[in-house]
């Protein structure tokens, strides 16, 4: 079965949120669905989008697993965004948590050294 994933994040102010997401995700959106929705393709058939919706903003929690968490965190830091929090689940995984201005949580996770994700 073919599968595409679109993970959505509601934001209060699209124009204010978009530059932060561009910094977090490393560039401009892959496409604009409409005037207040931007979509980034993170990997083939895997998308993250932001959409202006003030009433629903601030409740997203997404974790994206990557092969090299340290390299990605360093890359994001080079664009001026630091994790709000770092968590390690001993023997399982670790993650860097980022929160946008609305409180939405976008985390990047990876394997704990010596384990596979």
Summarised one tens digit per residue, pLDDT across range 16-39 is 999 999 999 999 999 999 999 999
Q: How far apart are CA 79 and CA 77, in angstroms?
A: 5
Q: For residue range 71-83, list pLDDT tens digits in order.
A: 999 999 999 999 9
* CB-based contacts of 47, cutoff 8 Å, min separation 6: 4, 5, 6, 7, 30, 39, 40, 41
**Is there a contact between 33 and 49 (Cβ–Cβ < 8 Å)?**
yes
Averaged pLDDT, 51-75: 97
pLDDT at res. 117 = 44
Q: Please tell me the predicted confidence (pLDDT) of residue 114.
A: 61
What is the predicted pLDDT for the residue at 18? 98
Which domains are present in the chain?
Answer: 5-111 (3.10.180.10)
What is the arithmetic mean of pLDDT over 1-10? Answer: 94
Task: Write the DSSP assignment of 26-66 as a string of letters.
Answer: TSS-SEEEETTEEEEEEETTEEEEEEE-GGGTT--EEEEE-
Task: Specify the 3-state DSSP secondary structure of 22.
Answer: helix
Please check whether residue 13 is in contact with residue 58, taking contact to mean a CB–CB distance below 8 angstroms.
no
What distance in Å separates the CA atoms of residue 19 and residue 68, rounded to the nearest whole number?
Answer: 24
Average pLDDT of the residues of the chain = 95
Per-residue pLDDT at 1: 86
Residue 15 pLDDT level (bands cut at 50, 70, 90): very high
Residue 63 has pLDDT above 70, yes or no: yes
């Amino acid at each position: 079965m073919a599968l595409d994933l679109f993970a959505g994040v509601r934001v209060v102010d699209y124009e204010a949120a978009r530059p932060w997401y561009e910094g977090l995700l490393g560039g401009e959106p892959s496409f604009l669905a409409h005037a207040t929705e931007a979509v980034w393709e993170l990997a083939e058939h895997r998308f993250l989008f932001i959409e202006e919706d003030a009433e629903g903003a601030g409740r997203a929690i997404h974790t994206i697993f990557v092969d090299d968490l340290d390299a990605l965190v360093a890359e994001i830091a080079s664009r001026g965004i630091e994790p709000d929090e770092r968590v390690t689940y001993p023997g399982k995984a670790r993650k860097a948590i980022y929160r946008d201005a609305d409180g939405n949580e976008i985390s990047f996770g990876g394997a704990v050294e010596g384990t596979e994700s």
